[in-house]
Amino acid sequence: NAGVTQTPKFQVLKTGQSMTLQCAQDMNHNSMYWYRQDPGMGLRLIYYSASEGTTDKGEVPNGYNVSRLNKREFSLRLESAAPSQTSVYFCASSPDRGRGYTFGSGTRLTVV
């Protein structure tokens, strides 16, 4: 049972570089989410997709874009990485909006 799979697990970027974080779930969940977690800040929602074909901004969307490629996959793109985007990024999915989430194991991103 893979659940939610995130790649890569670790990444170091230089300021201004771009990259895409990948997330896939095999639980046939409708909703998917991207969070970032910083010390003392808790989990903050970046973007979410309530269902295939829809995406919405969360609390901290600036500097990010997302694509819900299909029901299984939800990617997060950093177009021009900044040191402030150094964080741990978690993808999550749920059967429907507002129900319990299953998280991926996270991506630790450092921007230098």
Partner 1 sequence: RKEVEQDPGPFNVPEGATVAFNCTYSNSASQSFFWYRQDCRKEPKLLMSVYSSGNEDGRFTAQLNRASQYISLLIRDSKLSDSATYLCVINSGYSTLTFGKGTMLLVSP
Which residues would be at the binding site for partner 1 (CB under 8 A)? 31, 33, 40-43, 45, 48, 50, 56, 58, 90, 97-106
CB of 55 to partner 1, least distance (A): 11
Residue 55 has φ and ψ, to the nearest 5°, of -140, 150
CB of 31 to partner 1, least distance (A): 8
Q: Is 62:47 a contact under the CB 8 Å cutoff?
A: no
CB of 12 to partner 1, least distance (A): 17
CB of 98 to partner 1, least distance (A): 4
Q: Measured from the CB atom, is 77 or 97 closer to partner 1? A: 97
3-state helix, strand, coil in the chain (%, to 5): 5, 55, 45
Q: Measured from the CB atom, is 53 or 100 closer to partner 1? A: 100
CA distance 24 to 7: 9
Q: Measured from the CB atom, is 77 or 99 closer to partner 1? A: 99
CA distance 4 to 102: 7
